[in-house]
Protein backbone atom coordinates (compact mmCIF):
# COMPACT_ATOMS: atom_id res chain seq x y z
CA UNK A 1 0.00 0.00 0.00
CA UNK A 2 1.17 3.48 -0.86
CA UNK A 3 2.48 5.68 1.96
CA UNK A 4 0.06 8.31 3.26
CA UNK A 5 2.71 11.01 2.75
CA UNK A 6 2.90 10.19 -0.96
CA UNK A 7 -0.87 10.69 -1.28
CA UNK A 8 -0.84 13.83 0.88
CA UNK A 9 1.89 15.38 -1.23
CA UNK A 10 0.15 14.47 -4.50
CA UNK A 11 -3.02 16.00 -3.05
CA UNK A 12 -1.25 19.24 -2.23
CA UNK A 13 0.73 19.48 -5.48
CA UNK A 14 -2.17 18.71 -7.79
CA UNK A 15 -4.82 20.71 -5.93
CA UNK A 16 -6.86 18.02 -4.22
CA UNK A 17 -6.35 19.01 -0.59
CA UNK A 18 -4.67 21.89 1.24
CA UNK A 19 -4.26 22.53 4.93
CA UNK A 20 -6.89 24.99 6.18
CA UNK A 21 -5.63 28.58 6.60
CA UNK A 22 -2.20 27.41 5.53
CA UNK A 23 -0.71 30.91 5.25
CA UNK A 24 -1.33 31.32 9.00
CA UNK A 25 0.30 28.03 9.84
CA UNK A 26 -2.84 25.93 9.42
CA UNK A 27 -5.61 24.90 11.81
CA UNK A 28 -5.23 21.47 13.38
CA UNK A 29 -7.03 18.69 11.51
CA UNK A 30 -9.09 20.97 9.30
CA UNK A 31 -8.68 20.70 5.53
CA UNK A 32 -9.63 22.57 2.37
CA UNK A 33 -10.44 20.79 -0.86
CA UNK A 34 -8.82 22.34 -3.93
CA UNK A 35 -10.11 22.36 -7.53
CA UNK A 36 -9.63 18.63 -8.15
CA UNK A 37 -10.52 17.68 -4.57
CA UNK A 38 -13.81 19.55 -4.85
CA UNK A 39 -14.56 17.56 -8.03
CA UNK A 40 -13.67 14.21 -6.50
CA UNK A 41 -15.57 14.97 -3.30
CA UNK A 42 -18.66 16.02 -5.26
CA UNK A 43 -18.36 12.83 -7.29
CA UNK A 44 -18.21 10.68 -4.14
CA UNK A 45 -21.31 12.41 -2.80
CA UNK A 46 -23.17 12.27 -6.10
CA UNK A 47 -22.40 8.58 -6.44
CA UNK A 48 -23.73 7.87 -2.94
CA UNK A 49 -26.84 9.96 -3.63
CA UNK A 50 -27.38 8.20 -6.92
CA UNK A 51 -27.15 4.75 -5.26
CA UNK A 52 -29.17 5.65 -2.18
CA UNK A 53 -31.84 7.97 -3.59
CA UNK A 54 -32.14 7.92 -7.39
CA UNK A 55 -31.74 4.19 -7.95
CA UNK A 56 -34.27 3.27 -5.25
CA UNK A 57 -37.91 4.00 -4.68
CA UNK A 58 -37.88 3.67 -0.89
CA UNK A 59 -35.52 6.55 -0.02
CA UNK A 60 -36.01 10.33 -0.02
CA UNK A 61 -33.37 13.01 0.51
CA UNK A 62 -33.08 15.70 3.18
CA UNK A 63 -30.80 18.66 3.82
CA UNK A 64 -31.23 19.75 7.43
CA UNK A 65 -29.46 22.69 9.07
CA UNK A 66 -26.20 22.27 10.93
CA UNK A 67 -27.48 24.25 13.93
CA UNK A 68 -30.32 22.63 15.84
CA UNK A 69 -32.26 23.26 19.03
CA UNK A 70 -29.90 22.41 21.93
CA UNK A 71 -32.51 20.08 23.39
CA UNK A 72 -31.88 17.73 20.43
CA UNK A 73 -28.43 16.86 21.74
CA UNK A 74 -29.60 16.36 25.31
CA UNK A 75 -32.36 14.05 24.10
CA UNK A 76 -30.09 12.11 21.78
CA UNK A 77 -27.66 11.46 24.63
CA UNK A 78 -24.80 13.41 23.06
CA UNK A 79 -24.53 15.95 25.89
CA UNK A 80 -23.96 13.23 28.45
CA UNK A 81 -22.47 10.40 26.38
CA UNK A 82 -20.64 11.80 23.36
CA UNK A 83 -17.35 11.78 25.16
CA UNK A 84 -13.95 10.28 24.79
CA UNK A 85 -11.67 9.56 27.70
CA UNK A 86 -8.75 11.93 27.67
CA UNK A 87 -5.32 11.66 29.28
CA UNK A 88 -2.65 14.36 29.51
CA UNK A 89 1.06 13.80 29.61
CA UNK A 90 2.45 15.50 32.72
CA UNK A 91 5.81 16.11 31.00
CA UNK A 92 5.16 17.15 27.38
CA UNK A 93 1.54 18.26 27.99
CA UNK A 94 0.26 16.42 24.93
CA UNK A 95 -3.26 14.96 25.07
CA UNK A 96 -4.33 11.51 23.94
CA UNK A 97 -7.49 9.49 23.56
CA UNK A 98 -7.28 6.91 26.31
CA UNK A 99 -8.78 4.10 24.22
CA UNK A 100 -6.32 4.63 21.37
CA UNK A 101 -3.04 4.52 23.29
CA UNK A 102 -1.49 1.17 23.87
CA UNK A 103 1.02 2.13 26.56
CA UNK A 104 0.66 3.18 30.22
CA UNK A 105 3.06 6.09 29.70
CA UNK A 106 3.08 8.93 27.14
CA UNK A 107 3.45 7.46 23.60
CA UNK A 108 5.60 10.45 22.59
CA UNK A 109 7.97 11.12 25.51
CA UNK A 110 7.26 8.19 27.89
CA UNK A 111 6.20 10.75 30.56
CA UNK A 112 3.62 10.03 33.24
CA UNK A 113 -0.04 10.30 32.23
CA UNK A 114 -2.93 11.81 34.21
CA UNK A 115 -5.97 9.74 35.15
CA UNK A 116 -8.41 9.49 32.23
CA UNK A 117 -11.29 11.98 32.29
CA UNK A 118 -14.25 12.46 29.97
CA UNK A 119 -14.13 15.11 27.27
CA UNK A 120 -17.18 16.09 25.22
CA UNK A 121 -16.46 16.22 21.51
CA UNK A 122 -19.15 18.73 20.55
CA UNK A 123 -18.25 22.26 19.51
CA UNK A 124 -20.30 24.98 21.19
CA UNK A 125 -21.34 28.36 19.89
CA UNK A 126 -24.09 30.92 20.55
CA UNK A 127 -27.18 32.05 18.68
CA UNK A 128 -28.09 35.71 18.84
CA UNK A 129 -26.07 38.54 20.29
CA UNK A 130 -25.76 37.37 23.89
CA UNK A 131 -23.11 34.86 24.83
CA UNK A 132 -24.97 33.18 27.67
CA UNK A 133 -25.66 29.58 28.54
CA UNK A 134 -29.29 30.04 27.52
CA UNK A 135 -28.18 30.83 23.96
CA UNK A 136 -25.72 27.98 23.67
CA UNK A 137 -26.01 25.70 20.64
CA UNK A 138 -23.83 22.93 19.23
CA UNK A 139 -22.39 22.33 15.81
CA UNK A 140 -23.90 18.95 14.94
CA UNK A 141 -21.55 16.02 15.58
CA UNK A 142 -23.60 13.80 13.23
CA UNK A 143 -26.23 14.50 10.61
CA UNK A 144 -28.59 11.76 11.80
CA UNK A 145 -30.52 13.83 14.36
CA UNK A 146 -31.70 16.19 11.60
CA UNK A 147 -33.43 13.18 10.08
CA UNK A 148 -35.02 11.94 13.30
CA UNK A 149 -36.54 15.30 14.21
CA UNK A 150 -37.93 15.57 10.65
CA UNK A 151 -39.31 12.03 10.61
CA UNK A 152 -42.94 13.13 10.73
CA UNK A 153 -42.43 15.97 8.23
CA UNK A 154 -40.93 13.65 5.64
CA UNK A 155 -43.48 10.91 6.34
CA UNK A 156 -46.42 13.27 5.83
CA UNK A 157 -45.08 15.15 2.81
CA UNK A 158 -43.74 12.13 0.94
CA UNK A 159 -46.53 9.68 1.94
CA UNK A 160 -43.99 6.86 2.25
CA UNK A 161 -44.88 3.43 3.61
CA UNK A 162 -42.58 1.35 5.79
CA UNK A 163 -39.87 0.41 5.14
CA UNK A 164 -38.46 3.69 3.87
CA UNK A 165 -35.31 5.71 4.34
CA UNK A 166 -34.19 9.31 4.52
CA UNK A 167 -30.74 10.10 3.14
CA UNK A 168 -28.63 13.11 3.98
CA UNK A 169 -25.15 14.38 3.20
CA UNK A 170 -23.65 17.20 5.21
CA UNK A 171 -21.02 18.63 7.48
CA UNK A 172 -20.42 17.33 10.98
CA UNK A 173 -18.03 18.67 13.61
CA UNK A 174 -16.15 16.91 16.36
CA UNK A 175 -13.47 18.36 18.58
CA UNK A 176 -11.38 15.21 18.23
CA UNK A 177 -8.56 14.72 20.73
CA UNK A 178 -6.38 12.42 18.68
CA UNK A 179 -6.16 13.78 15.19
CA UNK A 180 -3.75 13.21 12.35
CA UNK A 181 -3.52 10.63 9.58
CA UNK A 182 -4.32 13.35 7.05
CA UNK A 183 -8.08 13.66 6.36
CA UNK A 184 -8.93 10.37 8.11
CA UNK A 185 -9.80 12.10 11.37
CA UNK A 186 -10.73 15.75 10.97
CA UNK A 187 -12.55 18.19 13.22
CA UNK A 188 -14.80 19.30 10.38
CA UNK A 189 -15.87 16.58 7.98
CA UNK A 190 -18.82 15.37 5.96
CA UNK A 191 -21.09 12.43 6.53
CA UNK A 192 -23.37 10.48 4.22
CA UNK A 193 -26.10 9.00 6.37
CA UNK A 194 -29.20 6.98 5.72
CA UNK A 195 -31.81 6.40 8.40
CA UNK A 196 -33.89 3.47 7.24
CA UNK A 197 -37.19 3.10 9.12
CA UNK A 198 -38.63 -0.40 9.34
CA UNK A 199 -41.26 -2.43 11.09
CA UNK A 200 -39.58 -3.60 14.35
CA UNK A 201 -40.23 -7.21 13.38
CA UNK A 202 -38.33 -6.83 10.11
CA UNK A 203 -35.49 -4.72 11.41
CA UNK A 204 -32.91 -7.51 11.77
CA UNK A 205 -33.44 -8.55 8.18
CA UNK A 206 -32.95 -4.98 6.98
CA UNK A 207 -29.89 -4.58 9.17
CA UNK A 208 -28.26 -7.49 7.40
CA UNK A 209 -29.41 -6.18 4.03
CA UNK A 210 -27.76 -2.77 4.58
CA UNK A 211 -24.52 -4.25 5.90
CA UNK A 212 -24.20 -6.28 2.67
CA UNK A 213 -25.37 -3.48 0.42
CA UNK A 214 -22.84 -0.97 1.76
CA UNK A 215 -20.03 -3.51 1.79
CA UNK A 216 -20.66 -4.22 -1.91
CA UNK A 217 -20.94 -0.52 -2.78
CA UNK A 218 -17.33 0.31 -1.96
CA UNK A 219 -16.07 -2.65 -3.98
CA UNK A 220 -18.27 -1.80 -6.92
CA UNK A 221 -16.63 1.61 -7.20
CA UNK A 222 -12.98 0.73 -6.79
CA UNK A 223 -12.11 -0.52 -3.32
CA UNK A 224 -10.06 -3.72 -3.57
CA UNK A 225 -11.56 -6.86 -2.06
CA UNK A 226 -8.46 -7.52 0.02
CA UNK A 227 -8.51 -4.03 1.54
CA UNK A 228 -12.00 -4.05 2.98
CA UNK A 229 -13.64 -6.10 5.70
CA UNK A 230 -16.56 -6.19 8.10
CA UNK A 231 -16.09 -6.11 11.85
CA UNK A 232 -18.92 -6.69 14.27
CA UNK A 233 -18.89 -4.57 17.43
CA UNK A 234 -18.50 -6.33 20.75
CA UNK A 235 -21.28 -5.65 23.26
CA UNK A 236 -19.08 -3.34 25.39
CA UNK A 237 -18.17 -1.32 22.33
CA UNK A 238 -21.70 -0.48 21.21
CA UNK A 239 -22.82 3.15 21.26
CA UNK A 240 -25.54 4.03 23.77
CA UNK A 241 -28.26 3.89 21.09
CA UNK A 242 -27.26 0.72 19.24
CA UNK A 243 -28.46 -2.86 19.49
CA UNK A 244 -25.82 -4.09 17.08
CA UNK A 245 -23.29 -2.52 14.77
CA UNK A 246 -20.87 -3.46 12.01
CA UNK A 247 -17.95 -1.37 10.92
CA UNK A 248 -16.83 -1.52 7.34
CA UNK A 249 -13.07 -1.28 7.76
CA UNK A 250 -10.51 -0.33 5.17
CA UNK A 251 -6.83 -1.13 5.25
CA UNK A 252 -5.54 2.44 5.51
CA UNK A 253 -1.73 2.87 5.58
CA UNK A 254 -1.92 3.14 9.40
CA UNK A 255 -3.86 -0.13 9.64
CA UNK A 256 -7.46 -1.38 9.52
CA UNK A 257 -9.76 1.52 10.44
CA UNK A 258 -13.42 2.44 10.17
CA UNK A 259 -14.73 3.64 6.84
CA UNK A 260 -18.42 3.37 7.61
CA UNK A 261 -20.58 2.11 10.46
CA UNK A 262 -23.91 0.36 10.07
CA UNK A 263 -25.91 0.51 13.29
CA UNK A 264 -29.20 -0.98 14.38
CA UNK A 265 -30.49 2.01 16.38
CA UNK A 266 -33.80 0.33 17.35
CA UNK A 267 -36.52 2.87 18.23
CA UNK A 268 -34.17 4.69 20.60
CA UNK A 269 -34.10 8.05 18.82
CA UNK A 270 -37.74 8.34 17.79
CA UNK A 271 -38.91 7.27 21.25
CA UNK A 272 -36.57 9.68 23.01
CA UNK A 273 -37.53 12.63 20.82
CA UNK A 274 -41.24 11.83 21.18
CA UNK A 275 -40.89 11.63 24.95
CA UNK A 276 -38.98 14.86 25.41
CA UNK A 277 -40.65 16.98 22.70
CA UNK A 278 -44.12 15.73 23.60
CA UNK A 279 -44.81 15.23 19.85
CA UNK A 280 -46.04 11.95 18.55
CA UNK A 281 -43.42 10.32 16.27
CA UNK A 282 -45.09 7.12 15.22
CA UNK A 283 -46.30 5.44 12.06
CA UNK A 284 -49.83 4.20 11.51
CA UNK A 285 -49.74 0.63 10.28
CA UNK A 286 -52.87 0.23 8.15
CA UNK A 287 -52.75 -3.54 8.08
CA UNK A 288 -52.36 -4.00 11.82
CA UNK A 289 -54.54 -0.91 12.44
CA UNK A 290 -52.22 0.47 15.09
CA UNK A 291 -49.46 2.99 15.66
CA UNK A 292 -45.94 1.65 15.73
CA UNK A 293 -42.59 3.24 16.41
CA UNK A 294 -40.31 2.13 13.58
CA UNK A 295 -36.87 0.73 14.18
CA UNK A 296 -33.96 2.39 12.46
CA UNK A 297 -31.05 0.94 10.53
CA UNK A 298 -28.31 3.48 9.93
CA UNK A 299 -25.48 3.18 7.40
CA UNK A 300 -23.26 6.13 8.29
CA UNK A 301 -20.19 6.83 6.18
CA UNK A 302 -17.66 9.61 6.03
CA UNK A 303 -17.23 11.45 2.73
CA UNK A 304 -13.63 12.31 3.54
CA UNK A 305 -12.73 8.75 4.54
CA UNK A 306 -14.35 7.36 1.38
CA UNK A 307 -12.45 9.99 -0.63
CA UNK A 308 -9.18 8.87 0.94
CA UNK A 309 -9.89 5.15 0.53
CA UNK A 310 -10.85 5.52 -3.14
CA UNK A 311 -7.72 7.57 -3.73
CA UNK A 312 -5.44 5.08 -1.97
CA UNK A 313 -6.77 2.11 -3.90
CA UNK A 314 -6.67 3.97 -7.22
CA UNK A 315 -3.03 5.02 -6.86
CA UNK A 316 -0.64 3.01 -9.02
CA UNK A 317 2.98 3.34 -10.01
CA UNK A 318 3.86 1.50 -13.22
CA UNK A 319 6.84 1.17 -15.53
CA UNK A 320 5.98 2.09 -19.09
CA UNK A 321 8.78 1.80 -21.64
CA UNK A 322 11.35 2.19 -18.88
CA UNK A 323 9.67 5.25 -17.40
CA UNK A 324 7.66 5.59 -14.21
CA UNK A 325 3.97 6.26 -14.75
CA UNK A 326 1.83 7.36 -11.80
CA UNK A 327 -1.83 6.79 -12.50
CA UNK A 328 -5.00 7.20 -10.48
CA UNK A 329 -7.27 4.50 -11.81
CA UNK A 330 -10.40 5.97 -10.24
CA UNK A 331 -13.81 4.66 -11.30
CA UNK A 332 -15.25 6.61 -14.22
CA UNK A 333 -17.89 8.21 -11.96
CA UNK A 334 -15.25 9.36 -9.48
CA UNK A 335 -12.48 10.65 -11.76
CA UNK A 336 -12.34 14.43 -11.20
CA UNK A 337 -11.55 15.21 -14.84
CA UNK A 338 -13.25 13.12 -17.50
CA UNK A 339 -11.48 14.42 -20.60
CA UNK A 340 -8.38 16.49 -21.38
CA UNK A 341 -8.03 18.16 -24.76
CA UNK A 342 -4.41 18.54 -25.82
CA UNK A 343 -3.23 20.26 -29.02
CA UNK A 344 -0.07 18.59 -30.27
CA UNK A 345 1.48 21.76 -31.68
CA UNK A 346 0.58 24.89 -29.84
CA UNK A 347 2.33 27.16 -32.32
CA UNK A 348 -0.12 26.16 -35.06
CA UNK A 349 -3.16 28.46 -34.62
CA UNK A 350 -5.48 26.14 -36.64
CA UNK A 351 -4.67 23.24 -34.31
CA UNK A 352 -5.18 25.35 -31.19
CA UNK A 353 -8.44 26.66 -32.61
CA UNK A 354 -9.72 23.19 -33.37
CA UNK A 355 -8.67 21.89 -29.93
CA UNK A 356 -10.40 24.79 -28.19
CA UNK A 357 -13.59 24.21 -30.18
CA UNK A 358 -13.56 20.54 -29.14
CA UNK A 359 -12.93 21.52 -25.52
CA UNK A 360 -15.88 23.92 -25.53
CA UNK A 361 -18.12 21.35 -27.14
CA UNK A 362 -17.33 18.67 -24.54
CA UNK A 363 -17.40 20.72 -21.34
CA UNK A 364 -20.62 21.63 -19.55
CA UNK A 365 -21.95 18.20 -18.68
CA UNK A 366 -18.60 17.06 -17.35
CA UNK A 367 -15.26 18.45 -16.16
CA UNK A 368 -12.92 18.87 -19.12
CA UNK A 369 -9.45 20.40 -19.10
CA UNK A 370 -7.58 22.12 -21.90
CA UNK A 371 -3.80 21.99 -21.63
CA UNK A 372 -1.07 22.95 -24.08
CA UNK A 373 1.66 23.92 -21.64
CA UNK A 374 4.10 21.03 -22.17
CA UNK A 375 5.22 18.28 -24.51
CA UNK A 376 2.71 15.51 -25.17
CA UNK A 377 4.56 13.04 -22.95
CA UNK A 378 4.42 15.44 -20.00
CA UNK A 379 0.78 16.28 -20.72
CA UNK A 380 -0.17 12.59 -20.59
CA UNK A 381 1.76 12.10 -17.36
CA UNK A 382 0.01 15.05 -15.72
CA UNK A 383 -3.40 13.73 -16.71
CA UNK A 384 -2.63 10.15 -15.64
CA UNK A 385 -1.57 11.39 -12.22
CA UNK A 386 -4.99 12.97 -11.61
CA UNK A 387 -6.91 10.07 -13.14
CA UNK A 388 -8.28 11.76 -16.28
CA UNK A 389 -10.25 9.13 -18.20
CA UNK A 390 -9.57 10.24 -21.78
CA UNK A 391 -6.98 12.43 -23.47
CA UNK A 392 -7.96 13.85 -26.83
CA UNK A 393 -5.08 15.03 -28.98
CA UNK A 394 -5.40 17.25 -32.01
CA UNK A 395 -2.57 17.01 -34.55
CA UNK A 396 -1.71 18.22 -38.04
CA UNK A 397 -3.64 15.39 -39.67
CA UNK A 398 -6.72 16.33 -37.65
CA UNK A 399 -6.94 19.48 -39.78
CA UNK A 400 -7.22 17.33 -42.91
CA UNK A 401 -9.18 14.27 -41.86
CA UNK A 402 -11.23 15.87 -39.05
CA UNK A 403 -10.22 13.05 -36.73
CA UNK A 404 -8.62 13.14 -33.29
CA UNK A 405 -6.72 10.61 -31.20
CA UNK A 406 -8.42 9.47 -28.01
CA UNK A 407 -6.21 7.76 -25.43
CA UNK A 408 -7.69 5.57 -22.72
CA UNK A 409 -6.14 6.14 -19.25
CA UNK A 410 -6.10 2.50 -18.19
CA UNK A 411 -5.19 0.63 -21.37
CA UNK A 412 -3.29 3.54 -22.96
CA UNK A 413 -4.85 2.31 -26.20
CA UNK A 414 -5.44 5.00 -28.77
CA UNK A 415 -8.49 5.33 -31.01
CA UNK A 416 -8.74 7.60 -34.00
CA UNK A 417 -12.22 9.14 -33.83
CA UNK A 418 -14.16 11.36 -36.17
CA UNK A 419 -14.68 14.74 -34.47
CA UNK A 420 -18.39 14.56 -35.24
CA UNK A 421 -18.60 11.30 -33.27
CA UNK A 422 -16.42 12.39 -30.33
CA UNK A 423 -19.11 13.65 -27.96
CA UNK A 424 -21.11 10.45 -28.36
CA UNK A 425 -17.93 8.38 -27.86
CA UNK A 426 -17.19 10.20 -24.58
CA UNK A 427 -20.81 10.15 -23.41
CA UNK A 428 -21.06 6.40 -23.90
CA UNK A 429 -17.92 5.80 -21.88
CA UNK A 430 -18.46 8.20 -18.98
CA UNK A 431 -22.15 7.70 -18.33
P1 LIG B 1 -14.03 6.66 15.10
O2 LIG B 1 -14.21 5.43 15.95
O3 LIG B 1 -13.03 6.50 13.99
O4 LIG B 1 -13.85 7.91 15.91
P5 LIG B 1 -16.85 6.83 15.05
O6 LIG B 1 -17.21 5.42 15.35
O7 LIG B 1 -16.93 7.84 16.14
O8 LIG B 1 -15.42 6.89 14.35
P9 LIG B 1 -19.30 7.35 13.73
O10 LIG B 1 -19.84 8.16 14.84
O11 LIG B 1 -19.82 5.98 13.52
O12 LIG B 1 -17.71 7.32 13.82
O13 LIG B 1 -19.44 8.21 12.40
C14 LIG B 1 -19.81 7.65 11.15
C15 LIG B 1 -18.76 7.91 10.10
O16 LIG B 1 -18.38 9.26 10.05
C17 LIG B 1 -17.46 7.14 10.34
O18 LIG B 1 -17.54 5.83 9.85
C19 LIG B 1 -16.46 7.97 9.57
O20 LIG B 1 -16.45 7.60 8.19
C21 LIG B 1 -17.01 9.36 9.69
N22 LIG B 1 -16.27 10.10 10.72
C23 LIG B 1 -16.48 10.08 12.05
N24 LIG B 1 -15.62 10.87 12.68
C25 LIG B 1 -14.82 11.42 11.74
C26 LIG B 1 -13.73 12.35 11.75
N27 LIG B 1 -13.32 12.90 12.87
N28 LIG B 1 -13.16 12.69 10.58
C29 LIG B 1 -13.59 12.16 9.41
N30 LIG B 1 -14.62 11.28 9.33
C31 LIG B 1 -15.24 10.93 10.47
pLDDT per residue as tens, the chain (431 positions): 899 999 999 999 999 999 999 999 999 999 999 999 999 999 999 999 999 999 999 999 999 999 999 999 999 999 998 888 899 999 998 888 888 888 889 998 999 999 998 889 999 999 998 888 889 999 999 999 999 999 999 999 999 999 999 999 999 999 998 778 999 999 999 999 999 999 999 999 999 999 999 999 999 999 999 999 999 999 998 987 899 999 999 999 999 999 999 999 999 999 999 999 999 999 999 999 999 999 999 999 999 999 999 999 999 999 998 999 999 999 999 999 999 999 999 899 999 999 999 999 999 999 999 999 889 999 999 999 999 999 999 999 999 999 999 999 999 999 999 999 999 999 999 99
Whether 162 and 155 have beta carbons less than 8 Å apart is answered as no
Q: Where along the chain do the CATH 3.30.930.10 domains lie?
A: 35-76+131-311
Query: Atom 13 of ligand 1 has which residue's CA nearest to it?
Result: 300
To 5 degrees, how large is the angle CA 194–CA 42–CA 378?
A: 145
Query: Ligand 1, from 305, 306, 310: best to mutate by most atoms within 8 Å of Cβ?
Result: 305
Q: How far is the CA of 122 from the centre of ligand 1 (A)?
A: 13
In three-state secondary structure terms, 311 is helix
* Ligand 1 pocket, mutate which of 214, 258, 259 (most atoms under 8 A from CB): 258
Asked if residue 39 lies in contact with residue 14, where contact means CB atoms within 8 angstroms, the answer is no
pTM, to two decimals: 0.95
* Interval between CA 96 and ligand 1 midpoint (Å): 17
Residue-level pLDDT at 97: 86
**What separation in Å is there between the alpha carbon of 299 and the centre of ligand 1?**
12
Pocket test for ligand 1, best of 300, 301, 306, 308 (most atoms within 8 A of CB): 300
pLDDT at residue 134 in the model: 84
Compute the distance between CA of residue 355 and CA of residue 375 in angstroms, rounded to an integer. Answer: 15
Tell me the CA–centroid distance for residue 172 and ligand 1, in Å.
10
In this structure, the residue with its CA closest to atom 31 of ligand 1 is: 302
Under CATH, which number does the domain 337-430 receive?
3.40.50.800
**What distance in angstroms lies between residue 302's CA and the mean position of ligand 1's atoms?**
6
Structural element, H or E, at residue 276: helix 268-277
Quick count: other Cβ atoms within 10 Å of Cβ 53? 19
> Is residue 164 lining ligand 1, measured as CB closer than 6 Å?
no
Domain with CATH 3.40.50.800 in the chain: 337-430
CATH superfamily, domain at 35-76+131-311: Bira Bifunctional Protein; Domain 2 (3.30.930.10)
Task: Sort residue 152 into left (φ over 0), alpha (ψ -120 to 50) or beta.
Answer: alpha
Question: For atom 12 of ligand 1, which residue has the closest CA?
Answer: 261
At 391, is the secondary structure helix, strand, or coil?
strand
Whose CA is closest to atom 19 on ligand 1? 302
Q: How far is the CA of 220 from the centre of ligand 1 (A)?
A: 22
Measured in Å, residue 130 CA sits from the centre of ligand 1 at: 32
pLDDT at 199: 97
Q: Check: CB of residue 29 under 8 Å from CB of residue 180.
A: yes
- Does the CB atom of residue 191 touch ligand 1 within 6 A? yes
Amino acid sequence: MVDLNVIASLCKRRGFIYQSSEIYGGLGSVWDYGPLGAELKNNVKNLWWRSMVYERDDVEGLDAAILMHPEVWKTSGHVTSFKDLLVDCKSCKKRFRYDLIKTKSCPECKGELTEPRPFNLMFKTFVGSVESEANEVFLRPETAQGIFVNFKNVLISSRKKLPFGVAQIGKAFRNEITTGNFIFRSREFEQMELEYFTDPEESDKWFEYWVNERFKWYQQYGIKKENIKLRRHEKEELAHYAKSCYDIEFLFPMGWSELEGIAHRTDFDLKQHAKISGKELSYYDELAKKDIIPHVIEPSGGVDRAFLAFLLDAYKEEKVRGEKRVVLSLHKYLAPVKVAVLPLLKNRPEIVEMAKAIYKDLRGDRKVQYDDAASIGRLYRRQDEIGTLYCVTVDVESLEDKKVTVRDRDTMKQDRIDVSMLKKYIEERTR
